[in-house]
Structure 1
Amino acid sequence: MESSVLAFATDLLDEGADTFFGNLTDRAGVGGLTLASVYHEARDVFPHNPRRVVRYLEPGAAYFRPDPARWRGSRLAPVAAAAIGDRDPFAEAAAEARRRGLKLHAWTVFCHNDRLGFRHPDCAPANAFGDRHLTELCPADPEVRAYAHGLVEELARYGVDAIRAESLHFHGLRHGYHHERYFEELGPVTEALLSICFCPHCLAAARAAGVPADEVRGFVEAELRLRLEDEHRATEPAALDALADGALAAYLDSATATVTSLTGELAEAAERHGMRLTFMDGAGPGKGWLSGIDLPGLAKAAHQIETLGYARTPEEVREKVSAFALHGVRPERMAVILRPMASDCDGPANLAAKIDVLRELGVPEVEFYNYGLMRLSSMDRIGRALR
């Protein structure tokens, strides 16, 4: 079984290569590093960082040096994080990983990007009222798709083994912005309807699939007005596919096709450069339909599906992974992320039992979240569990 630890480039820059890679190999004993190449805004606590304990990660920043020639003329382009200065942590990590015989994966957040969404609101998803969700990029937008292809080409320069594709899909209303506020109870249906993208590109894709897209948008707008005005109707449950006589379900199917096709294109591009593309599905089976996640389709489009095995017991991890088989994703085509911290694990035996479950099921790769966010004792726990 292959193993790696997810980490931020700032961990490498703050600790230095000897300490950083020494912890990966000597403490955790893993065979790879999954380094964030493009990441979203965050504020985190770093227990063992020698320079700062609380750090703010920049919105939508790149932790490699973008090639200016590659992005000339493009409105959507990665912006190097100010934190890396004049260094290229991805180049440093790639060289050190090769020297130590470790695999390097590029953990890449594609469509959840505050920086680009706020700069280019016409590339962000739009709800039925035309309001743009500026923390995101719409995967149906041609410029967004070109941007995603550009990221794959950029990362190929570093000789990475695989791209871990996070947020290569739509996001719901409650995702991605600090100080989100909902003072009236909306209910799950109202939130879901507010999450659907009706930007010109999504509408065009649905029309091309034979869906009465404008009628669906008009229906959703009217339904939302009623739900926003009436607190009882707002929380009233409803089967979304029945709300518009099946047309809404067809519209959502079109969004799913958008995500699947983009994933397939990027997987083919990655393969041309000798890389794999792993689609990261954090929600799990049956929960990503509003995000355009069709697991059977994505299992064919991507080289691999990765999910979160965050759970207290090995039995829960088994249930999470086994559920994917019911949706066309075989365990041997999966990678699973575990957390060795106290929130999930009470010791190395617990973590080892979870790893044993993954081996038994045939999962070929396990990753551990997250280098800088865990205590060094949790790194030791990984090493003991793997041994």
Structure 2
Amino acid sequence: MESSVLAFATDLLDEGADTFFGNLTDRAGVGGVTLASVYHEARDVFPHNPRQVIRYLEPGAAYFRPDPARWAGRRLAPVPSTAIGARDPFAEAAAEAGRRGLRLHAWTVFCHNDRLGFAHPDCAPANAFGDRHLTELCPAHPEVREYALTLVEELARYGVDAIRAESLHFHGLRHGYHHERYFEELGPTAEALLGVCFCPHCRAAATRTGVPAEQVAEAVRAELRRRLADQEAAAEPADLSALADGAFAGYVDASAATVTSLAAELTERARHHGMRLSFMDGGGPGRGWLAGIDLPALAAATDQIETLGYAGTPEAVREKLAAFALHGVRPERMAVILRPMAADCDGPENLAAKIGVLRGLGVPEVEFYHYGLMRLSSLDRIGAALGS
């Protein structure tokens, strides 16, 4: 079973290569590192960082040096984080990983990008009222798709083994923005409908499949107005698949086809450069329909489905994998991320048992979240669990 730890470039830069890679090999005992190449805004606590305990990550920043020639004339282009200065952490990581016999994976956030969404609102998803979700990029927009493809090209320069594709899909309303506020109870149906994209590109994609996109948008607006105006209406259950005389289901299916086709294009481009592409699904089976996530189709279109195995017991991890199998995703086509920290894990025996479940099911890769966000004792826990 292959193993890796997810990390930030700032972990490498702040600690230095010898400490960073030494902890990965000597303490955690893993065979690879999964380094964030483009990442979203965050504020995190870093327990063992020698320079900053609390760090703010910039919105939509890149942690490699983009090739200016590739991005000439583009509106959507990666902007290097100010935290890396004039350095190229990916080049440094690639050299060190190669010297130490470790695999390097590129953890890449594609469509959750505040910086680019705010700078180019027409590239962001739009709800049924035309309001733009500026923390995101729409997978149906041609410029967004070209941006994603070029990111894959860029990462190939570093000898990356695999691209871990995060946020390669639509997002719901509550995906995360500083000081989001909901003073009235919207209800799950209104929240779901407010997260569906009705930008011109998504409407055109649905129309090409025979779905009456304008009729669906009108029905969604009417349903939202009804629920936003009345608390009792907001609490009513709803069969969304029946909305707009069933056309809403076809509209969402068209969104899923948009996501699958983009994932397939990126996978083909990655393979061309000798890389693999893992589609990171954080929601799990049955929770991604409105985000455009069709798990069986994505499993066929990409090299791997990667999911979060965050759970307190080995049995719960087994249940998560069983749910994927019911949706046509076989364990041998998956990678699973585990957390060795106290929230999920009470010791190396617990973590070893979870790894044993994955091995027994035939899962070929396990990753651990997250180098800089865990104590060094949690890295030791990984090493003890893998060694057992």
Give the TM-score category using the shorter length. over 0.9
Alignment of 1:342-353 (within 5 A): 342-353=342-353
Shift of 1:243: 2.0
Alignment of 1:33-52 (within 5 A): 33-52=33-52
Q: Which residue of structure 2 lines up, in the alignment, with residue 265 of structure 1?
A: 265
Is 2:81 the partner of 1:81? yes
Is 2:380 the partner of 1:380? yes
Mapped partners of 1:204, 1:73: distance in 2 = 26
Q: Which residue of structure 2 lines up, in the alignment, with residue 142 of structure 1?
A: 142
Shift of 1:40: 0.1
Shift of 1:245: 1.4
Instruction: Answer yes or no: is the 8 Å Cα contact 1:190–1:235 preserved in 2.
Output: no
Q: Which residue of structure 2 lines up, in the alignment, with residue 317 of structure 1?
A: 317
Instruction: Answer yes or no: is the 8 Å Cα contact 1:317–1:354 preserved in 2.
Output: yes
Q: Which residue of structure 2 lines up, in the alignment, with residue 8 of structure 1?
A: 8
Amino acid at match of 2:42: A
Give the percent of matched residue pairs that are identical in Structure 1 and Structure 2.
Answer: 82
Alignment of 1:1-387 (within 5 A): 1-387=1-387
Mapped partners of 2:65, 2:178: distance in 1 = 28
Shift of 1:242: 1.2
Mapped partners of 2:194, 2:291: distance in 1 = 12
Mapped partners of 2:236, 2:281: distance in 1 = 29
Shift of 1:226: 1.1
Mapped partners of 1:172, 1:205: distance in 2 = 19
Mapped partners of 1:375, 1:282: distance in 2 = 23
SS in 2 for 1:371: coil
SS in 1 for 2:372: helix
Mapped partners of 1:149, 1:271: distance in 2 = 12
Amino acid at match of 2:347: G
Shift of 1:176: 2.4
Mapped partners of 2:180, 2:224: distance in 1 = 19
Amino acid at match of 1:169: H
**Paired residues, what number?**
387
SS in 2 for 1:144: helix
SS in 1 for 2:204: helix
Amino acid at match of 1:128: A
Amino acid at match of 1:343: A
Mapped partners of 1:37, 1:176: distance in 2 = 20
**What is the RMSD computed on CA atoms of the aligned residues?**
0.4
Shift of 1:178: 1.4
CA offsets 1:97-144 (integer angstroms, 9 cap, x no match): 000000000000000000000000000000000000000000000000
Of residues 245-254 and 222-231 in structure 1, the stretch that sits farther from structure 2 once superposed is 222-231
Runs of 4+ in 1 over 2 A off after TM superposition: none
Q: Tell me the TM-score normalized by structure 1.
A: 1.00
Amino acid at match of 2:78: P
Amino acid at match of 2:187: G
CA offsets 1:242-298 (integer angstroms, 9 cap, x no match): 122110000000000000000000000000000000000000011111100000000
Shift of 1:312: 0.2
Shift of 1:149: 0.2
Instruction: Answer yes or no: is the 8 Å Cα contact 1:125–1:198 preserved in 2.
Output: yes
Instruction: Answer yes or no: is the 8 Å Cα contact 1:112–1:176 preserved in 2.
Output: no
Mapped partners of 1:251, 1:243: distance in 2 = 10
Mapped partners of 2:127, 2:65: distance in 1 = 34
Mapped partners of 1:299, 1:23: distance in 2 = 33
SS in 1 for 2:322: helix
SS in 2 for 1:372: coil
SS in 2 for 1:91: helix
Instruction: Answer yes or no: is the 8 Å Cα contact 1:139–1:145 preserved in 2.
Output: yes
Q: Which runs of 5+ in 1 are unaligned?
A: none
Mapped partners of 1:209, 1:25: distance in 2 = 51
Amino acid at match of 1:375: R
SS in 1 for 2:158: coil
SS in 1 for 2:192: helix
Mapped partners of 2:224, 2:323: distance in 1 = 33
Shift of 1:230: 1.0
Amino acid at match of 1:281: D
SS in 1 for 2:344: coil
Mapped partners of 1:115, 1:309: distance in 2 = 30
SS in 1 for 2:37: strand
